[in-house]
Structure 1
Amino acid sequence: MSAPLLVLDDIRKVYTRGRVIRRPTFTLEANLSLEEPGIVGVVGPNGAGKTTLFEMMTGSNAPTSGRVLVAGTDIHGVKYRERDRLAIHYHQSYQVRRFRKRIPSAFLAPSPTRTPLVHLFDEPQFNLQDGYIGFMLDFFRKLRDEGRLVILCMHPTASWHLDILAEIAGQFLFVAGGGVTRMADFRSLVAEQRFRLYLGPEMTRAADAIAMAARSSTR
């Protein structure tokens, strides 16, 4: 039996400040397993830790405790320049290749893969010109169909952002309150009260309408 594509094994990231007495200023915790290829939506308020989560997943920000396993390999034990052969992080339109080096790369292991298994898109820029959104969604589906795990982080500020999430993502991760909550589908996400508060009244009405339309189409 093959290992899950991505495991966050009791990861915990604590930021502190203070020269003499270090006091925690922010903590993020996650414990979950994404076993198979698919497309996962990530949402949550600004400052909730979504980018920190992505950085830990791709090996550029080490967790305070816990492990990130990509297909069974601890990505933080892999040579820095080869970590994007396991998981690759795109922020908007560029690849993130920034690593906090604690251990000389010579003491780390090579990547067991040559091409990334996990693709993380951090608030990608969706151009509204004709056909562009469809092209991007087809690209995400192509990666999934090739056996990859696609993780798409969006900050919904318009109803069409919600349309994209509802159409493309098979499940969701809601990042808020220092934790990561897994949601089975878009309807479950919309039913989450913290998500509704995050969206606000106008966007919540749009989300309800999209969820209702999706429910009607599956009957």
Structure 2
Amino acid sequence: MTTPLLRVDNIARQYTRGTFRKQVTFTLAANFEVATPRIIGVLGPNGSGKTTLFELITGSNKPSAGRVLVKGQDIHQVRTHERDRLAIHYHQSYQVRHFKQGKPNFLLEHAATDSPWVHLFDEPQFNTQDGYIGFMLDFFQRLKQSGRLVFLCMHPNEPYHIDILRESCEEFIFVHKGVVTQAQDLPTLMRDERARNYLGALAERAGAPAALQPA
């Protein structure tokens, strides 16, 4: 049996406030598996938990429950400075996300690879005027062809953003109020009222039937 590239195994991250009488302010929960190399689009409103999900996958945020397995290795049990050998998080202008060290490294294991299997792009800055967009889209495809898994998180506000997602991504994840939902393609995602409302006027371009478009 082939080991999946990524297994998000009943992962959860809960945020609370208060010292003596703690109140839960936000909870993210996810449980999914990606077996083979592909490009996955990630959508959702601001504050829904998309970046938290990416941080949990890369081991830069400590889960309240569950685990993340990259090629069968629990990334939260890997030495802090080696976690980006399994999964790497690029935020906006492609800088790599860093994180604080928790458990001492000598108590953790070494990464089983030198090159990350999972690449997570968090709202990259695409500009149609500078020609960089074509380079990045080609880069995503080359990562996939080399056996890697790519997550492309975008906050669409232009029609060409929808075109990028539709043409580049093979499946989608929608994050809404901490709930993670999978869809096999963009039209399937558009059957979800929450996703249609999120995209608003762009829902039709994403494949929502006229009868289901937001009012």
TM-score past 0.5 threshold: yes
Q: Report the alpha carbon displacement of residue 203 of structure 1 after superposing the two structures with TM.
A: 1.7
Superposed CA offset, 1:72-99 (max 9, x none): 0000000000000000000012111113
Q: Report the alpha carbon displacement of residue 131 of structure 1 after superposing the two structures with TM.
A: 3.5
* Matched residue, 1:23: 23
* Matched residue, 2:73: 73
CA RMSD of aligned residues (A): 1.5
* Matched residue, 2:99: 98
Equivalent residue runs for 1:7-86 within 5 Å = 7-86=7-86
Runs (5+) with no aligned partner, structure 2: 211-215
Q: CA–CA distance in 1 between the matches of 2:133 and 2:189?
A: 22
Q: Report the alpha carbon displacement of residue 130 of structure 1 after superposing the two structures with TM.
A: 5.3
Q: CA–CA distance in 2 between the matches of 1:190 and 1:163?
A: 14
Q: CA–CA distance in 2 between the matches of 1:9 and 1:29?
A: 10
Report the secondary structure of 2:111's partner residue: coil
Q: CA–CA distance in 2 between the matches of 1:125 and 1:137?
A: 12
**For structure 1, which segment, 137-146 or 177-186, has the greater mean C-alpha deviation from structure 2 after superposition?**
177-186
Report the secondary structure of 1:191's partner residue: coil
Equivalent residue runs for 1:1-219 within 5 Å = 1-93=1-93, 94-99=95-100, 101-129=101-129, 131-200=131-200, 202-208=201-207
Q: CA–CA distance in 2 between the matches of 1:206 and 1:186?
A: 10
Q: Report the alpha carbon displacement of residue 127 of structure 1 after superposing the two structures with TM.
A: 2.1
The one-letter code matched in structure 2 to 1:102 is G
**Residues 47 and 177 in structure 2, CA contact (< 8 A), matched pair in contact too:** no
Q: Report the alpha carbon displacement of residue 179 of structure 1 after superposing the two structures with TM.
A: 1.2
Q: CA–CA distance in 1 between the matches of 2:59 and 2:111?
A: 12
TM-score by structure 1 length? Answer: 0.92
Report the secondary structure of 1:138's partner residue: helix
Q: CA–CA distance in 2 between the matches of 1:185 and 1:204?
A: 13
- Give identity over the alignment, percent: 55
Superposed CA offset, 1:185-207 (max 9, x none): 1111122211011112x222332
Q: CA–CA distance in 2 between the matches of 1:77 and 1:119?
A: 19
**Residues 78 and 111 in structure 2, CA contact (< 8 A), matched pair in contact too:** yes
Superposed CA offset, 1:161-189 (max 9, x none): 11100000000000013211110011111
Aligned residue pair count: 209
Runs (5+) with no aligned partner, structure 1: 213-219
Report the secondary structure of 2:137's partner residue: helix
Superposed CA offset, 1:40-69 (max 9, x none): 000001100000000000000011000000
The one-letter code matched in structure 1 to 2:175 is V
Report the secondary structure of 1:127's partner residue: coil
Q: CA–CA distance in 2 between the matches of 1:167 and 1:205?
A: 15
**Residues 49 and 177 in structure 2, CA contact (< 8 A), matched pair in contact too:** no
**Residues 58 and 89 in structure 2, CA contact (< 8 A), matched pair in contact too:** yes
